[in-house]
Structure 1
Amino acid sequence: MNTTLIVVLAAIAVAAGVVVIHNGIVSRRNAVRRAWADVLAYERQKQQTLPKLEELVGSYQEYERGLLTSVTQLRESLGRLGAQPDGIALAQAERASAELLKSLRIAVEAYPELQAAGALRDLMAQLVDLQKEVTAALTIFSRNVELYNTGLEVFPASLVNAAVTRAQPVEPFTDPRAASAFDYRPRL
């Protein structure tokens, strides 16, 4: 074979490899965006349920003023979630969700004689189900972030990313409060 042909074939192979790696990075980035959109969709569903809860709890403010405050704080936290992945804002929203669910359980147990207790239980069940969906969506999001970030760091993708794609890693979702409950810390 002649040297020119070998060089041309090698250049074509390298170019094809760069295209495949670049497309892989873009594909994984889009998977992260899609997974984040799923997290937001479930959080938004929670946000749409909250006005009903606010109205119900608002009518019984004298019984549970703190519950209304928790609902309002959750709505504000959910409102700060944007189109770009933001683990810190999401962690704040998840803390507010946990506080609200805790407050709801206390309110339902403390005031079973309220006529609104049945409606409150239904809304609480909706929020619990939505929280389960958020948890599942977060699991998928975290896995996609892991695949994406790993794809940026491994060789030769790291070279292609540095030269062509220039994508930035995505900050994974973390929950410092949950992590503080564990004594074990992996050495990385």
Structure 2
Amino acid sequence: MEYNLIIVGVVALFIGLTILAKYNLIVREYNSVTRGWADVLTQERQRSRIIPELDRVLQDHKDYESELLPKITALRQGINALEDNNIDTKLQSEVDKASQDLMKGINVAVEAYPELKASESFSKFMYEITEQEENVGAAVRIFNQNVAHFNSCIQSFPNNIVNAMINKKKVIEVFTDSKAAAEFEYKPNF
């Protein structure tokens, strides 16, 4: 009888430790996702700090398109609407689209006013905005990688059982760029 209790105790201990390990794994993966999203927001906020500088540079030249200022304002508002505790990939997509529209407007202004292109401050700004665009892209890639790891973690066995019983975390949507996806003829069949 004691032998059976020892076996049951060892099995119960093993199951308990397994559940604890799976619980901690899910928490760790979820924290990676939230950290990744915070990094995306950090890069977006860094990009938003450049916007006033853009405004100053373009105001100095007074020769930019009248549509550019509302685009700058809309981009700043979109970036400020992103929240740390709310993963909103759709809003992030809108902010990226607004940024792309802004860049198109700047290119039009540069083509129309060559003296703007020659400005040292404008050149520095363009370098910085390009670097910030790359940083946002890298942060989004890391976020999507963390989301993929997390989603796999909560969907695989036995993690899915532990998640359903204890963690109750839901699958998180990855960030997608519908405009970029539309440009590809290839569509994966999944």
Query: TM > 0.5 between the two?
Result: yes
Mapped pair 1:24 → 2:25: yes
Give distance in 2, aligned partners of 1:25 and 1:159: 11
Residue 19 to residue 59, structure 1, CA distance change in 2 (3 Å): same
- Residues paired across the two proteins, number: 188
Give distance in 2, aligned partners of 1:100 and 1:91: 14
**Aligned position for 2:130:** 128
Residue number among 133, 145, 150 corresponding to 2:152 in the alignment: 150
What is the TM-score normalised by the length of structure 2? 0.92
Cα offset for 1:113?
Answer: 2.0
Cα offset for 1:56?
Answer: 2.6
**Aligned position for 1:63:** 64
**Aligned position for 1:45:** 46
Alignment root-mean-square deviation, CA: 1.7
Identity of aligned residues (%): 34
Give distance in 2, aligned partners of 1:152 and 1:64: 49
**Aligned position for 1:9:** 10
Cα offset for 1:20?
Answer: 0.4
Cα offset for 1:114?
Answer: 4.0
**Which segments of 5 or more consecutive residues in structure 1 lack a partner in the other structure?**
none
Give distance in 2, aligned partners of 1:124 and 1:118: 10
Give distance in 1, aligned partners of 2:90 and 2:54: 25
Residue 167 to residue 134, structure 1, CA distance change in 2 (3 Å): same
Alignment of 1:96-111 (within 5 A): 96-111=98-113
What is the TM-score normalised by the length of structure 1? 0.93
Give distance in 1, aligned partners of 2:127 and 2:68: 16
- Contact persistence 2:29–2:146 (CA under 8 A): yes
Superposed CA offset, 1:112-148 (max 9, x none) = 2249833222212111100101111111110000000
| Structure 1, 175-184 or 61-70: larger mean CA deviation | 61-70
